[in-house]
Structure 1
Amino acid sequence: MTMASNAWNALSDKQLTVQNIHKSLDSIKDDLWVAAACVDRIVDDATVQRVLLEIALERTTPALRRSQAAAAPDDESDGSSEAADEAPLKRDALVSHFNRLPADARLCAIRAVILDRLDCLNTFVEICQAPPEDTEELDSTSDAWDDDDPWTESAQPQIREPVEPPVPLSAFLTDELARSALLLASRQWFSALGVIFERHATILWPYRMAVLNSIPEHTHPLGYRDLLPALDLSTNLEKRITANPWRASPDWSETPDVRAALAASGHPPDISPTISDLSFDLRKDPLSCDELSEWYKNRIQRIISSTGLIDIALAVVQHAAPQSVPGLDEMGEELSLLARLVYDAPQADDDDDDDWTLDRWYSMDPITVVRAYLAHSDPETLAKDIWRLVMPYLFVLESRAERAGTPDPAIRTRILYDYILNAPLEIAVAVFEASKPILPTAQRIIQNDEDMARLALACLYGSNSLDEWPIMNRIFECLPAWDITRDDEQEDAADMTVVSLGTFVTPSTTRPRCTPSDLLIFFQPLPLSSLSRALDILDVHLESGEILSRWSVPAPLRWFLQSNSNAPDQRSWANRMARRAGGSEDKLNTLDDWEWLLEDMLKLSGTGDSGLRGAFGLLSQDEILQIYLTGLLSTGNFNFAKTIIKSPQNKLSLSSEAIEDICLTCSRELYDNASSGNYTIGEMKLAYECLDVPPPSARLQCEREFIEATSRLSSFNVMSGPGTAISPIEIRLTKDRLSLVSRVLSTNNDAYKHTEVILDLVHKLGLRNNVVAEVKTLAMLADTALQAEDFLRAYETSERMVETVLALRSSYIDVDNPEIQEASEVCWVACFQLGRQPEFEDVGKKLSLLGRALELCPPDKLHDVLTAWRRLETEDIEAREERSTYRQGKSRKLGGVTLNAATSLRARLQDFHMPSPPLLNTPDAAALASRTFRSVAANFPFSVATRGRSQASHPEAERSQSGSRRREGEEIATQATRVFSKGIGWLIGADDE
C-alpha cells in the first residue's frame, strides 16, 4: 500500500488519466484511503473527475451498508439497503456504530460530499452544452439563414460545439453554487442559470433575487425571461421554481438523521450549504404580491438610472405582464410614452440633454411633455409628429382622467392649443396648414373652424415678429371664410371689439406684454360675426405690415391695433417710413422707388374695398404728402423732389406755401443737425441746397442768408467754450445775434477793419433792416478800433454811426420813439468815449465827436459831456499858448495877434461857463462817463472799454508835436468855436422842449 500510495501522490493533477487512476487505486484495499484520495483530487477534466468520484462512491458503498444495518431494527433487517431505508432509524445505534467504527462514519461523510459533487459535475456538463445568450442568438440566426439558403444540405445536422463556461470545473465543484450562479448571471449565461436553478432549486432558492439583481441592467429581458419571478394566482404569492434534481430522493447518507448522527460522532460531512461570506438579502419565503411588484419597479428604476435604456425597462414591464405581476400597468404606460420621446421623437445631432429618467418624466407637466416630443420637429414633419407622438399621449391623459372619475373632454384641445400659442410662427403655420377646412375633419389637427380663427388671431397679434410676413399670410390663407351679412348694430359691435382689442394689447404696468394666451382669452367669447370682422381687419393689417416692412420700418402686428384710434402714433410711424426708407441701402435709389413709396403711403392712408382703413387711416392725404416730402428732403434727394413737385401728373398736390414751409422746416432741421457751419459740406450744404427746391421767396432768401452768415461765423473760428468751436444749433438758439458779432470782433484782431463785411454779417443774421442793430454794430466796430488804438478808423466808424442815427432821427417825427432813443443812446456814448480818449491826439476830431455827443445825449447827461468838452478845449488852449511862447523869429505883431486871439477865445468861453454839478468836479470824470455808458448799454452784446492814460503824459506828448500844431492853431480855434456854438444851440433847443 505504501508503494501504491507513493505512486498516487507522485502523480500530478495534469498527469491523471483514467488508466493511471485505476492502475494506482485498484490495488489499494483501504476504502477510506482511496475514497479520501479521490475526494482530495479536484481536476478540470470532467471525464477524469467523474472516474475519481465514481471510484470513491464505490469504495463508500460497503461502509454505507454496514451503517444501514447497524441503524436498522434486527427483526426487520434482511441485509438489503431497501429494507434499511424503509426501517425506522435508530439514531443512538447509528451513533454507537460510528463511534465503534470511525472509518464507516468518515466514509459516510465522504459519500455525501461525493454525491453532491457528482450532481454538480452533471450540472457542469449540461452547462457546457448551454452557451451564453449572445452565442445562442447568433446560432439561432445562423440556423434561420441556413434554413432559407437553398444551397444548404439539409441532411447535415448542425453540431453545437461545447462552450467553456466562465467557471472552471474545479471551482464549480468546490465553490458555493450561489456564487457560481452570481458569476454566470453577470456574464449573461442565462441558459446555464436555468440549468442550475432547475437542478439545484432547493439550494439556490434563497439567492434567486440576488442572482437576478446581478444581471447587467442593459441586458434585454428576453434573454432571461424564464428566470423572472412570476405570481401564483392561486396563492397570490411568488411562484416557486420548478425543480428537476439529478436524484429523485437523497441518498441515505444525506438524510437529516445520518447528518445528525455524524455530527454527534464528530464526523460531519464536509459540505457548506450556505454562503456565509456573502451579504445578501436572502428571501427564503416567496414574495408577496406587493413585494414582487416593488422588485420589478426597482429593477426598472435601476435600468433607467444606470443606462438610460428606456426600451429595456419597457421590455421588463412587458415580460412581467404575462407573469401576472400587478401594479405595473401605469408604469408600463409611462414607459411606453417615454420610449416614444426617447426613440421615436426627432432628436438633435448634438443634443446633450438625453438624461431621461422616470423621475424627470414624472416631474413634467403635460405641455412640457408635448414640447419635448416636438422640440426638434421641423415644419415639414411637425403634423406627422403630432399625430404619431402627441395625440397618443393626449388620448392617454384623457383616458386616465376618465379612469380617475374626473373626465375632462377638453384636455386634448387645451394642451394642444397651448402648444400652438407658444410655438414659433414657422411651427404654428404647419399646424394651421394641417387643419385647413378643406381637409376631412378626422384628418385635421384643429377640427373646429372658430377655434382655428381664434388661435390664428391670438398667434398673429401676440407675435413680436417683424420679418415673417410670408408665414403670417400662409396662416391667414388657412383660415375659414364665412359669408356673413352683418347689420349696422353688428358692424358697430365688431368695430367696438377691435377698439377694445387695441386697448387690451396696449402694454401697461401690470402687463408689459400681451401674450397669445391672453389674446385667446379675449377672443374666446366673440361671436361668429365678430370673428369674421376680425379676420377682415387682420387681412388689412397684414397688407399694411408687408408695406411697412418693405420700406424698412416694420411694426409688430399688434401695433396696428394699438394705433387704430391713435393719430399721433400713425403720424409718428408715417414719419419713420418717409425718413428711414431713404436710409435703406437697397431702396429708393431711383425716382421710381420714391414714387412707389408715395403710392404705398397714400394706400396706407386710404380705405380698402372692405371699407376698412389702412395703417395711416387717421391722417389726411395732405398730411401724408407733407410727411412724404419731408422725408424726401431729409435724405438730400433734392433733384427727385424738384422732379416730383414739377411733374405734370401732379402726384404731390400741395400748395406753394405748404411746399415752402416744408422746405424751410427741413432746411432748419438739417441746419440744426449739422456738425459744421461750413455750407459747402455735410448737413449744412444740404440745408442750403434744400432752399433751392421751391420757387424763390423772401423767406427763403432770409434763411439762405442766415446759413451764409453761419458759414462766415464758422470761418472766423468763433468759440462757444475753451477749445470748442460754436455749433450751428448754438448760433440759431442765440437770442441776441449781435453777441455773435461781438465774439467775432473779440476773437479776431483785424475783423474791425472790415466794416462792410461785418455789416453784411449782421444783415444776414436777420437784422438787415434793423437800424438800431446797425448802429450797435458800428459802435462795436468803433470800440474795437479804439481798443486797438486805431483812432482814425474809430473816428470814421463813429462818423458813419452818427450819420446813420441822424438819418434815422430825420425819418421819424417823434424823436421819443424807442428805436431813436436806443440808437441815439448808443451813438452819443460811443462818441463821448472816443472824444474823451486822451491818446487820440486829433483834438479837432475829438471836439467834433464831443459835439455830436452833446447833440445826441439826453438832457441829464449834458453836464458830463460839456465838462469833457470844456476840459479838452482848455487843454487845447493851454497847449497852444505854450507852443506860442516857443515861437522865435516871428514878428511881435503876429505874436500879439495870436495872444489877443487866444485871450479873446478864453474870454468868450468863460462867458459861457455854466456851473457843473458836484459830481463833475471829481478827479475822474472820464470814469463817470464810462460807467454811464455801461449802465445805458447794459443790454448790448458789446462793451465799451476805456483806454485811459495819465493826463500828466498828455501835455508832454503835445509838446513833442508843438511845431506842427502851431500852424493849425487858428484853424483849431475857429473849429472849436463853431462846434461849441452848435452844441450850445442844441442844448438850448433841448431845454426848450
Structure 2
Amino acid sequence: MASDAEKRAFLASLPCDAESVLSTLTSIEDVWWVAAAAVAAVRTGTAWLAADAERVLAHALERSASFDQEVQAVLSKDVDRLLAWLDAEPDRLPRVVLRRKLWHMRWLLSIPLSRSKSALVETDMARLSDIPLLEHARTLCLAGNERALRALLGTNASVALCLYPHRFVLLRLLLTCGGVSPDHLMQLRLLPGTHLPVADRESGAWVDALGSFALWTEHPGMVSALARRGAATHPPAPPPPPPALSDWYMDVIRELEGRWGLVDAAFALAQAGERMGMVPLRAARDELAFLHMLVYELHAEAWSVSTLRAAKAADLVRLVVSHPAPMSETAQRLRDAVLPYLQHGTYADAHTLHAYSASALGVHIALMVLDTLSPARALPLVSAMLSWLDKEDQMRLTLVVIGAYDATDRASLAMYADMLRDVPLPDASPSPLYLVLSRAPKHDALALWKCTHVASSHQLMHAVRDVRVLVDMAQALAPIRAYAPSYLWGDDVHRHRAHRMAVELVQHALTQRGHERAALERILQALAPWIGTHAPYLPTECVRTLFKQLLLARAPILFNEVVHALPHTCPKIAALLSHEDAEALVLETARAWTEQAPTCDPLHGALQRARDTLDAVPPSPSVNAELSFLQLLGLLHEHASPLSPKDVRATSRLDLLARVLSSHRDAYRTAQPLARACMINEDDDVRIEAMLTDAAAASGDVSAALRSCDRLVTRVLSLDHTQHTEAYDVAWRTCFQLAKQPWMWPDHRAPTQVFGHALRLAPPEHISTILTTLAPLAVRASHPPTIPRRDAQPTHAWSRLLTRTEEQSTAQLLDSVATQHAPNAARMARSLFDMGAAWWNEAK
C-alpha cells in the first residue's frame, strides 16, 4: 500500500506518461484516490494520446464500478429519497461528483477519438470537463462540429438520453448556425425521423444500447439533487416537441432560407424530409428546387421564397430566358423547371394558370418568351418548345406566333417556314378561322390564342394551311423587300396593303439604277405564284396597282418594255394584264393626272405627267383622243380660258369654242386651231364655221365673215342632206342672219350673194321668208340711202330689229324703240325697204 509521501510524489510528477500513471494507479489500493488522481493526470496530460487517456479513465471507472450499483439501487427504489441518501454520509456527495466527472471526461475523449485513433488529448480538456453536457453539446452545434456531437452521443446511451429531449433545438442549431449539410446529418443518423431498428424507433444516434449504461449519471433526479447541493447546474427544461416532424422541418427550412439565405441547405433538408416520407414537405421541396435553380444556376442571388411568391409567371419566364445560356439549355430549363413550377407552384398569378394543362401552359410560356426576347432569339426557342405540346396546341401556337409578331429578318422567316414544313398549301377558299383572326387585333398574342382556343382541329389545320401561303410569300419577297407574314395577314390586304406593297416594290425597283427592268421583272416573278382570286393569296388587282404605281412614278418607257415582255418573262402576270388592260390603265392614269390640274396651262406638272404617261403605250384611237384633249387644253390656255381640265371634259367642245369667241372680240381671228381641235363629229365643222361667221359679223369684219360663210357653204354642200339635216339648217340660218345685216355691207352685191347661199340651202318652207327679206335690197340697190353712222355701230333699236324672231312683227319691234332713237330707226328701216325694192326690180 502506497504511503501518503508516495501519493504526493506522484501528483508532483504530473504530467508524466500514461504508462507510468497506470502502473502507479494500479499499485494504489484507495479506489477514490485513484479516481481523483486519474482525473488530475488526464487534465495535465495534454501530450497524451486520447486512447491512453481513455485507458486511464476506464481503469478508474472499473475500480469504482461497485458504487454504481449502490446508486442505481437508490434510484430504482425511490428518487425522492436520493437527497437524503446523499446527506446520510459525508463521502457520498464527493464520490457521486467524482464518478460523474470520470464519465464526463471519458465522453469528451470520444470526440478526438472519432477523428483518429492517434488523436491527442484536447488542450482545453480541463476546461471542457467542467462545462455541463448540454452546454457543451450546444457549443459543438454552433461550431458545426456534427461529428463531435455524433461521437459524443455514441459513447454511451446516457448521453443520448440526456440530450434526447433537446434534440430538436440542438439539431436546429447544427443546421442553421452550424451550417451542416442535412445529407451529412442523415448519414450520421442525426436527423429526426431517421427510422432505424432501435427501441424508440426515432433515431439510433440518440439511443444505441439500452441495457449497458449507468443511467444514474445523467438521471434527472440525480442532477436535481446535485444542483440543490451546489454540485451541478439545474438542467434547462426542454422545449415542447413540435406537433409533427414536418412542422419542425418547415420551421428550420424557413430559417435557413429566410434568415440565413442558405437556399441549398433548405432545399437539401426538404429533400431529406421527403425521402423520409414527409408528404407535406413536397410542395416546399418543389418551391425550393425552383429557387435553387434561380439562385445557383441563373445567379439571381436577390431572389428568395417571398420574392418568388410575389412574382408573376411572366417575371419568372423573363428571368430564365434572359440568362445568357445556350438555347438548348434554356429550352430544357423551361421544360424541366419552369413548366412544373407554373403547374403547382405558389406565385402571384398562379390562380389563373393552375387550371391549364401542361400543353396549354407550354403555349403560355412560349408567348411570354416572345414578349421578352427579340424574334431572332425567341423563335428558335419557341420552335424547340413545339415538341412539348399537343398537336392542336402546336397549330394554335403557330397561328399566334405568325399572326402576332412582325419579324422580317431571314432567320425568323426560315423559322416560320420550319414550323410549317410539313403543312401543305391550301386548295380551297380561306377558312373561317383565318378570316376571324385576320380581323383580330394584331400584336395581342393572348387575344389571338383565345380566338384559336375554341376552334376545332379541322379548322386549325385549314387555317395553318392558309398561313403557309403568307410565310412562303414573305420568303419569296424577302430578297426584294422584307414583309412580315402578319403584315400580309390582314382584313384589308385586298385593299390598302396590296396598294402599299405595290408602291414599295415599285420604289425598290426604281432605286436599282440601270437595272430597273430586271428588278421589276424579278418582283413580278416573285409575286406570280401568290396572286389568286381569294385570300390568303394577293388579289389580282395587285398587278394593276403595281403597274399603275409604275406610271405614277413617271416611268412610261419602263412600263412599255415590261408590258411587252410579260408573255415571255412572266406568263401568269401577262394573263392578268393584257395589252388592252395596259392601255386602259394608261388612259385612266393620264386622265387622273389631267383632272388634278387646276388650270389648262400645258406647263403645269399634272398635265406634263399626263402627257408623259401616254407615252407608255403605242398610239391608238383612244390614246390619240387623249392627246387631242391635252392639245385642246393648250389651245384653251392660249385664249386665257379660266376653265379647269375637269370642267373642259364635262363641257361640250362646241360650247367651249362659243365661250372663247364670246369672251374676246377678236378671238375669231386666231380661233382656227382651236376650232379644228373642237371637231369631233362629221358635221361639227359646219357648226364651227357658223360660229366663226357670227363672231366675225358681230365684230364688223365683213371679209372674215364672208370667208367663213363661203367655207361653211362649201363644207355643208359636201354632206348628204338626208343624213345631216341639222347641219343644213345651221348653214342656211347663218347665211340668212348674215345677209339680214345691211349696215355691214359696203355695197349690195355681197349680201345678195349671201342671200343666194341661204336660198340654196334653206328648206322650201322657208324660201318665202328669205324672199320677203330680200325685197328691200332692190330698192337700196337703185337708190342707195345715206345711212348716218353712229360710231360705226347700229343702235340698240336697230339691232333688236335685225335680230327679231319670226313670231315678232316689224311693228311690234318699232313700238319698242325708245323715243330718242325713233327717227334714226325709221330712216334705217326705210333705207332697207328701198334697197329690197330696187333689188327686186332688177331681178325682174
Smaller-chain TM-score bracket: 0.5 to 0.7
Query: What is the match of residue 172 of structure 2?
Result: 213
User: 1:183 aligned to 139, 144, 167, which one?
Assistant: 139
**Letter in structure 2 aligned against 1:774:** V
**C-alpha distance after superposition, 1:35-63 (max 9, x if no partner):** xx99xx9x99775999xxx9xxx9xx9xx
Aligned mate of 2:246, from 277, 287, 293: 293
Whole-Å separation in 2 of the counterparts to 1:584 and 1:272:
96
Q: Which residues of 2 match residues 415-454 of structure 1 at below 5 A?
A: 454=395
Q: Does 1:355 align with 2:284?
A: no
CA contact (8 A) 2:471 2:485 kept: no
Q: 1:644 aligns with which of 562, 566, 571?
A: 562
Matches within 5 A, 1:108-507: 119-128=103-112, 172=128, 176-198=132-154, 200-217=159-176, 219-225=180-186, 226=188, 227-230=190-193, 238-239=202-203, 241-242=206-207, 248-249=213-214, 268-275=229-236, 282-283=239-240, 291-306=244-259, 311-320=264-273, 324=276, 326-327=278-279, 330-331=282-283, 334=286, 338=290, 342=294, 352=300, 355=303, 357=305, 360=308, 381=328, 385=332, 389=336, 454=395, 458=399, 462=403, 464-465=405-406, 467=408, 468-478=412-422, 495=428, 498-507=430-439
Shift of the alpha carbon at 1:630? 0.6
Q: Secondary structure at the match of 2:184?
A: coil
Which residue number corresponds to residue 774 of structure 1? Answer: 660
Report the CA distance shift for 1:774/1:982 in structure 2 as closer, same or farther (over 3 A). farther
Q: Report what 1:599 is aligned to.
A: 525
Residue 392 of structure 1: how far off its partner (Å): 11
Measured against aligned partners, the alpha-carbon deviations of 1:538-578 in whole angstroms (never above 9, x if no partner) come to 65554334345555373636956x77xxxx84354443332
Taking the aligned partners of 2:87 and 2:658, their CA distance within structure 1 comes to: 153
Name the CA shift for 1:17/1:984 in 2 (closer, same or farther; >3 Å): farther
Query: RMSD of aligned C-alpha atoms?
Result: 6.9
Q: Could you tell me which residue of structure 1 aligns to residue 819 of structure 2?
A: 914
Which residue of structure 1 lines up, in the alignment, with residue 740 of structure 2? none
Matches of 1:495 and 1:681, distance apart in 2 = 50
Partner of 2:475: 546
**Aligned to 1:522, what secondary structure does the other structure show?**
coil
Question: Per-residue deviation at 1:474?
Answer: 1.9
Distance 1:852 1:176, change over 3 A: farther
Moved more, 799-808 or 468-477: 799-808
What amino acid is the match of 1:636? R
Sequence identity percentage:
13
Residue 242 of structure 1 aligns to which amino acid in structure 2? Answer: V
Distance, in Å, in 2 between the alignment partners of 1:378 and 1:762 is 70
2:507 corresponds to which of 575, 583, 602: 583
Deviation at 1:188, TM superposition (A): 0.9
AA aligned to 2:139 is L
AA paired with 1:593?
A: A
Once the two structures are superposed, the pairs formed by residues 57-96 of structure 1 within 5 Å of their partners are none
Q: TM-score, normalised by structure 2?
A: 0.54
Contact 1:461 1:558 in 2 (8 A): no
Question: d(CA) in 2 for partners of 1:113 and 1:676?
Answer: 128
Secondary structure in structure 1 of the residue aligned to 2:481: coil
Structure 1 counterpart of 2:507, one-letter code = G
User: How far apart are the structure 2 equivalents of 1:178 and 1:503?
Assistant: 79
**Structure 1 residues 248 and 420 mapped into 2: Cα distance closer, same or farther (>3 Å)?**
closer
Deviations 1:347-379 (A, max 9, x none): 66xx648736399479999x9999998886989
Distance change (3 Å), C-alpha of 1:354 and 1:455? farther
Q: Could you tell me how far 1:693 is from its partner in structure 2?
A: 2.9
Secondary structure in structure 2 of the residue aligned to 1:222: helix
Question: d(CA) in 1 for partners of 2:302 and 2:629?
Answer: 72
Pair 1:522-2:452 in alignment = no
- SS of the equivalent of 2:455 reads helix
Name the structure 1 match of 2:22: none
Q: Compared with structure 1, are the counterparts of its residues 208 and 665 closer, same or farther at alpha carbon in structure 2 (3 Å cutoff)?
A: same
Q: Taking structure 1 as reference, are residues 508 and 597 closer, same or farther at Cα in structure 2, changes over 3 Å only?
A: closer
Tell me which amino acid in the other structure corresponds to 1:185: C
Q: Which stretches in structure 2 are left out of the alignment for 5+ residues?
A: 1-11, 17-32, 345-354, 668-694, 713-726, 734-788, 804-816, 833-844
Partner of 1:693: 616
Q: Distance in 2 between matches of 1:764 and 1:80?
A: 134
Instruction: Name the SS for the 2:550 alignment partner.
Output: helix
Separation of aligned partners in 1, 2:414 and 2:792: 84
Cα 1:197–1:859 change in 2 (3 A) is farther
Question: CA–CA distance in 1 between the matches of 2:103 and 2:82?
Answer: 30
* Distance in 1, Cα, partners of 2:81 & 2:304: 67
**Secondary structure at the residue paired with 1:515?**
helix
Query: How far off its partner does 1:242 sit?
Result: 1.8
Structure 2 partner of 1:634:
552
Could you tell me how far apart the structure 2 residues matched to 1:458 and 1:574 are?
22
Counterpart of 1:300, as a letter, is I
| 1:458-857 correspondence runs (5 A) | 458=399, 462=403, 464-465=405-406, 467=408, 468-478=412-422, 495=428, 498-507=430-439, 515-516=448-449, 518-519=451-452, 521-524=454-457, 540-549=469-478, 551-552=480-481, 554=483, 556=485, 569-570=493-494, 572-584=496-508, 589-605=515-531, 615-616=537-538, 619=540, 625-645=543-563, 647=565, 658-667=581-590, 689-695=612-618, 697=623, 700-701=626-627, 758=640, 766=648, 770-771=656-657, 773-774=659-660, 778=664, 803=699, 848=791
Aligned to 1:829: none
Counterpart amino acid of residue 292 in structure 1 = L
Alpha-carbon offset, residue 600 of structure 1: 3.7
Amino acid at match of 1:914: T
Return the letter of the residue paired with 1:629: F
Give 3-state SS (helix, strand or coil) of 1:381's partner.
helix
Secondary structure, counterpart of 1:192 in structure 2? helix
Give the total of aligned pairs: 625
TM-score (norm 1): 0.47
Look up the SS of the partner of 2:420 in the other structure.
helix
Structure 1 residue 417 displacement after superposition? 6.6
2:557 alignment partner AA: N
**Contact 1:552/1:581, CA 8 A, preserved across alignment:** yes
For the 8 Å contact 1:130–1:191, the answer to whether it is kept is yes
Letter paired with 1:554:
Y
Q: Secondary structure at the match of 1:312?
A: helix
Aligned to 2:761: none
Q: 1:108 to 1:856 in 2, by over 3 A?
A: farther
Letter in 1 for 2:183: L
CA–CA separation in structure 2 for the residues paired with 1:613 and 1:44? 99
Specify whether residues 160 and 374 from structure 1 end up closer, same or farther in structure 2 by C-alpha distance, changes over 3 A only: farther
Alignment of 1:956-967 (within 5 A): none
CA distance in 1, matches of 2:580, 2:799: 45
Shift of 1:189: 1.0
Q: Distance in 2 between matches of 1:804 and 1:420?
A: 92
Alpha-carbon separation, structure 2, partners of 1:548 and 1:606: 16
Displacement of 1:190: 1.0
1-structure distance, mates of 2:184, 2:193: 16
The 1-side partners of 2:450 and 2:47 are apart by: 83
- Cα deviation digits, residues 896-939 of structure 1 (max 9, x gap): xxxxxxxxxxxxxxxx98279xxxxxxxxxxxxxxxxxxxxxxx
Q: Deviations over 1:680-725 (max 9, x none)?
A: 999887566434434565554467569989xxxxxxxxxxxxxxxx
8 Å Cα contact 2:469-2:530 kept in structure 1: no
- Output the CA distance in 1 between the equivalents of 2:476 and 2:102: 95
Instruction: Give the partner amino acid of 1:639.
Output: I
Q: Secondary structure at the match of 2:233?
A: coil
Question: Could you say if the C-alpha distance between residues 98 and 802 of structure 1 is closer, same or farther in structure 2, counting changes exceeding 3 Å?
Answer: same
